[in-house]
């Protein structure tokens, strides 16, 4: 996934970040943990790109690496506390797009092998079991649009049509392979690049554009997931992506709440000279895990 560098420095009051949430109703399933009746165990198939692998930077590295501190790992722990034994299998791949998930040719799967083919094979082999599938895709299709200002919206709109069509194919193949007791949950995206707003007027303009881009992506994802009866985790809401109430951020002063959350829940605001990294930190991945947990059905 695309990585960016941001220098943390003192700033004046920043109060203008695009805050209007895209008018989308995210499909979901109400939590029923209080009355949940669970099997001794259920499988958990974790699919997607780098966030599905808990990617985080290590030490002074600019690059992120898979860890055991991702949302999948935290979700397993959350459900274990409720008596649900999730057996985790991770097939995700850094840099995965909807296209490479179908065809392979990415960093992990050499064509004709692909993440989707492996996922389908796994589901067919576990047809009689209760299970969960989470799917984190979409960002790598529109990542090249991030960082633009005037052309960001045009760029995103030109790419999300492909995202939608390919995501439909992915969901149909997963559902056809899955048994009757398998729950599939999709993930939306937060906007770590809101943190650019700490870098003055140009950074604020780039942050505004990135937010519009992420909203376009989330609108497409939500529409496809809803049309295919798949609940979608509103990751943007878990990160307070559109909340612009002024708040204090340590070392930086008063900033919009969504900017502060981007700094608090990702690696975008590491102190100089450490390079910024767009992936969630432990707090961010925990927030995603909690958001997934409330969508799980009572029977899982």
Percentage of the chain beyond pLDDT 90 is: 80
Of 73, 1, 43, nearest to 279 (Cα)? 1
Whether the bond between 112 and the residue before it is cis, its omega within 30 degrees of 0, is yes
Over 204-266, what HEC string results? HHHHHHHHHHHHHHHHHHHHHHHHCCCCEECHHHHCCCCCCCEEEECCCEEEEHHHHHHHHHE
pLDDT of residue 59: 86
Condensed to tens digits (0 to 9), the pLDDT of residues 134-160 reads 999 999 999 999 988 889 999 999 999
Angle of helix 71-80 versus helix 282-293 axis, rounded to 10: 50
Instruction: Tokens for 137, please give them.
Output: 């895709």
Whether the bond between 273 and the residue before it is cis, its omega within 30 degrees of 0, is yes
Condensed to tens digits (0 to 9), the pLDDT of residues 219-242 reads 999 999 999 999 999 999 999 999
pLDDT of residue 28: 39
Of 195, 143, 144, nearest to 7 (Cα)? 195
pLDDT of residue 14: 40
pLDDT of residue 50: 98
Condensed to tens digits (0 to 9), the pLDDT of residues 91-104 reads 999 999 999 999 99
- Range of lowest pLDDT (30-44, 121-135, 222-236, 252-266): 30-44
In the predicted structure, residue 38 carries a pLDDT above the cut 90: no
pLDDT of residue 40: 62
Of 84, 127, 73, 82, nearest to 300 (Cα)? 84
pLDDT of residue 272: 86
Instruction: Tokens for 129, please give them.
Output: 């079991």
Cα separation, 159 vs 157, whole angstroms: 5
Q: How far is CA 58 from CA 3, 50, 51, 90, 277, in A?
A: 14, 14, 15, 20, 10
Cα separation, 79 vs 183, whole angstroms: 15
Cα separation, 254 vs 248, whole angstroms: 4
Instruction: Give the largest Cα separation in the chain, rounded.
Output: 59
Cα separation, 1 vs 18, whole angstroms: 24
In the predicted structure, residue 32 carries a pLDDT above the cut 60: no
Condensed to tens digits (0 to 9), the pLDDT of residues 168-204 reads 999 999 999 999 999 999 999 999 999 999 999 999 9
* Better-scored residue on pLDDT, 181 or 1: 181
Domains, the chain: 33-293 (3.40.50.1110)
pLDDT of residue 15: 37
Residue 43: pLDDT band (50, 70, 90) is: very high
């Amino acid at each position: 996934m695309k990585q960016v560098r941001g220098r943390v420095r003192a700033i004046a009051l920043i109060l203008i970040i695009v805050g209007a949430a895209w008018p989308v109703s995210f499909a979901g399933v109400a939590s029923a943990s209080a009355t949940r009746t669970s099997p001794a165990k259920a499988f958990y198939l974790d699919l997607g790109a780098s966030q599905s692998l808990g990617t985080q930077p290590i030490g002074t590295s600019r690059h992120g690496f898979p860890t055991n501190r991702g949302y999948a790992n935290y979700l397993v722990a959350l459900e274990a506390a409720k008596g649900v034994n999730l057996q985790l299998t991770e097939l995700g791949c850094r840099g995965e797009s909807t296209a490479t998930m179908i065809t392979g040719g990415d960093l992990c799967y050499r064509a004709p092998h692909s993440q989707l083919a492996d996922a389908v094979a796994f589901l067919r082999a576990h047809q009689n079991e209760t299970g969960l599938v989470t799917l984190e895709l979409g960002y790598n299709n529109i990542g090249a649009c991030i960082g633009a200002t005037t052309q960001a919206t045009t760029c995103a709109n030109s790419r999300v049509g492909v995202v939608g069509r390919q995501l439909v194919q992915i969901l149909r193949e997963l559902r056809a392979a899955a048994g009757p007791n398998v729950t599939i949950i999709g993930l939306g995206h937060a906007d770590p690049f809101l943190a650019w707003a700490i870098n003055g007027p140009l950074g604020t303009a780039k942050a505004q554009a990135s937010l519009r881009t992420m909203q376009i992506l989330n609108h497409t994802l939500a529409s496809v997931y809803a049309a295919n009866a798949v609940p979608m985790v509103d990751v943007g809401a878990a990160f307070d992506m559109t909340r612009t109430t002024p708040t204090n951020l340590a070392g930086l002063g008063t900033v919009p709440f969504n900017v502060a959350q981007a700094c608090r829940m990702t690696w975008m605001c590491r102190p100089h000279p450490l390079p910024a990294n767009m992936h969630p930190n432990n707090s961010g991945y925990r927030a995603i895990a909690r958001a997934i947990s409330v969508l799980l059905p009572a029977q899982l």
